[in-house]
Amino acid sequence: MSEEANPFESLQEQIDDAAAYLDVDDDILERLKHPERVLELNLSVDMDDGSRRRFEAFRSQFNGDRGPYKGGIRYHPNVSRDEVKALSGWMVYKCAVVDIPYGGGKGGIVIDPKEHSAAELERVTRSFAKELRPLIGEDRDIPAPDVNTGQREMNWIKDTYEKLEHTTAPGVVTGKAISSGGSEGRVEATGRSTMLTAREAFDYLDKEIEGATVAVQGYGNAGSVAARLLEDIGADVVAVSDSSGAVYDESGLDAVAVKEFKRDTGSVTGYEDAAEELSNEELLTLDVDLLIPAALENAIDGDLAEDVRADVVVEAANGPLTPDADDVLTERDVYVLPDILANAGGVTVSYFEWVQNRQRFYWTEERVNDELERVITEAFDTLTDAYESHDLPNFRTAAYVVALQRVVDAYTDNGNWP
């Protein structure tokens, strides 16, 4: 294994790769490669046993030229300042590629949620929300779920903010429970855009999605929903994994049954209807038509990319390929559909949720899914137009060419005030 890539440097490399095809001033580019501000906090929180613990936390506001900062909050022991900076930058270009009126932000707490009770997690979350209060708001910065956070955490943030502000402001966070102003279709949205991106890509590349074999690395919300929706359009999910390992059956697994097994037992391994158990690395190098990395950054580095045997990779996770892996897969003619398109369904339906919150007028699930499909297919077409017209080496560069130009235009048209 090569040395672990720094995700913030990966982001900067991706921006540079796209900028080479555009006419962007160096000083503007420099600005768009760094966050506008990063808040670093030490939260002191009471534990159930009466002790008090310190938790490091971050919120990076990367760029607000196209609208309020937008992006999730992650709870994970490996959260770091550079990871949060990278994730916030990816949000900028993700919102731009699907053309929704947001900038990008991201937050994280260095914590292993499995080690804490719900009461402790509530105190940690409310403490973070109290500190974030001056920076966030419906028109400023709008958090959302990310790894290990969901409706519960978003409701705590909303409630803390609203109580401290003596107001109602459901649009201060997205990804809330339906009862608190959440949107139909939000929970499934990331997996849905992954499926839509795979479907469009197979069509574009003249490949059949029906009967295509699929391996999914990571079986949380994004991976499991993508697997189920791909099954619905006729694909064969043959392998899935989580941090415990992978299960494989060349005749196909039942995506829903594996999800239920994981819900009941905590992991996918041990699922009795699978023919074989594999390591995560074996799953990533299976001979399948479609590989979906749906876990964390740097799942595939340059060395592993040499052994990837899938024809198409669709990134449900943020940053699962290192820049070296990208180079290897481009060289080997493996098509990679980038995270900033494939998992953009999450933030797109967050945008729909926010629109509904602002209007106090709520949509049906059918309307949400139809609008999401329109956004993703239009973004896909814009990306492939750029890929062809600029003769670009891969779809990631195409996505960044489209997105970077939109951010540069917004900054320049705003008048360039530093």
Q: Are 328 and 305 in contact (CB under 8 A)?
A: yes
Element containing residue 323 per DSSP (H, E): helix 323-331
Report in angstroms how near the CB of residue 173 gets to ligand GLU at its nearest.
Answer: 9
114 DSSP 8-state letter: G
Cα separations (Å) of 178 from 48, 175, 388, 402? Answer: 30, 9, 41, 34
Task: Name the residue nearer to ligand GLU (CB basis): 71 or 182.
Answer: 71
Q: In the chain, how long is the greatest CA-to-CA distance?
A: 63
Among 154, 258, 312, 347, which residue interacts with ligand GLU (rule: CB under 6 A)? 347
DSSP for 124-140, please give it: HHHHHHHHHTTT-BTTT
> How many binding residues for ligand GLU (CB under 6 A)?
14
Q: Known binding site: residues? A: 70, 94, 190, 221, 350
Report in angstroms how near the CB of residue 339 gets to ligand GLU at its nearest.
Answer: 8
Task: Name the residue nearer to ligand GLU (CB basis): 146 or 184.
Answer: 146
Task: Name the residue nearer to ligand GLU (CB basis): 15 or 247.
Answer: 15
Among 7, 64, 68, 72, which residue interacts with ligand GLU (rule: CB under 6 A)? 72
Query: Residue type for 137, please?
Result: G
- Characterize the bridge pairing of strands 290-293 and 312-314: parallel
Task: Name the residue nearer to ligand GLU (CB basis): 247 or 407.
Answer: 407
Q: Which stretch binds ligand GLU (CB under 6 A): 69-77, 204-212, 244-252, 358-366?
A: 69-77
Report in angstroms how near the CB of residue 145 gets to ligand GLU at its nearest.
Answer: 6
Report in angstroms how near the CB of residue 370 gets to ligand GLU at its nearest.
Answer: 19
Strands (E), 154-302: 213-217, 236-242, 245-248, 276-278, 290-293
Burial environment of residue 373 by CB neighbours within 10 A (0 to 12, 13 to 18, 19 or more): middle
Task: Indicate if 259 belongs to the active site.
Answer: no
Among 89, 103, 182, 346, which residue interacts with ligand GLU (rule: CB under 6 A)? 346
Task: Name the residue nearer to ligand GLU (CB basis): 72 or 323.
Answer: 72
Coil, helix or strand at residue 289: coil
Q: Which stretch binds ligand GLU (CB under 6 A): 23-31, 61-69, 142-150, 202-210?
A: 142-150
d(CA 29, CA 63): 12
Q: Quick one: how many helices (H) and strands (E) in the chain?
A: 15, 12
d(CA 290, CA 293): 10
Q: Which stretch binds ligand GLU (CB under 6 A): 141-149, 177-185, 253-261, 366-374?
A: 141-149
3-state helix, strand, coil in the chain (%, to 5): 45, 20, 35
Report in angstroms how near the CB of residue 176 gets to ligand GLU at its nearest.
Answer: 11
Task: Name the residue nearer to ligand GLU (CB basis): 150 or 245.
Answer: 150
Q: How many CA atoms lie within 13 A of 287 on its CB side?
A: 1
Strands (E), 78-136: 104-110
> For residue 382, what are its two tokens?
């814009």
Q: Is 174 in the site for ligand GLU (CB under 6 A)?
A: yes
Q: Is 350 in the site for ligand GLU (CB under 6 A)?
A: yes
Task: Name the residue nearer to ligand GLU (CB basis): 145 or 323.
Answer: 145
Contact code string over 183-222 relative to ligand GLU, x by CB under 6 A: ----------------------------------------
Q: Are 132 and 59 in contact (CB under 8 A)?
A: yes
Q: Could you say which residues in the range 266-325 bind ligand GLU, by CB under 6 A?
A: 318
CA angle 348, 208, 387 (to 5 degrees): 55
Q: Which of 33, 85, 106, 259 is catalytic?
A: 106
Among 59, 70, 199, 396, which residue interacts with ligand GLU (rule: CB under 6 A)? 70
| Sheet hosting strand 69-76, strand order edge to edge | 37-46, 52-63, 104-110, 69-76, 141-145
Task: Name the residue nearer to ligand GLU (CB basis): 315 or 324.
Answer: 315
Report in angstroms how near the CB of residue 87 gets to ligand GLU at its nearest.
Answer: 7
Q: Is 343 in the site for ligand GLU (CB under 6 A)?
A: yes
Among 64, 71, 89, 218, which residue interacts with ligand GLU (rule: CB under 6 A)? 71
Q: Known binding site for substrate: residues? A: 70, 94, 350
Q: Is 61 in the site for ligand GLU (CB under 6 A)?
A: no
Report in angstroms how near the CB of residue 141 gets to ligand GLU at its nearest.
Answer: 10
Q: What residues line the site for ligand GLU (CB under 6 A)?
A: 70-72, 94, 144-146, 174-175, 318, 343, 346-347, 350
- The residues annotated as belonging to the active site are 106
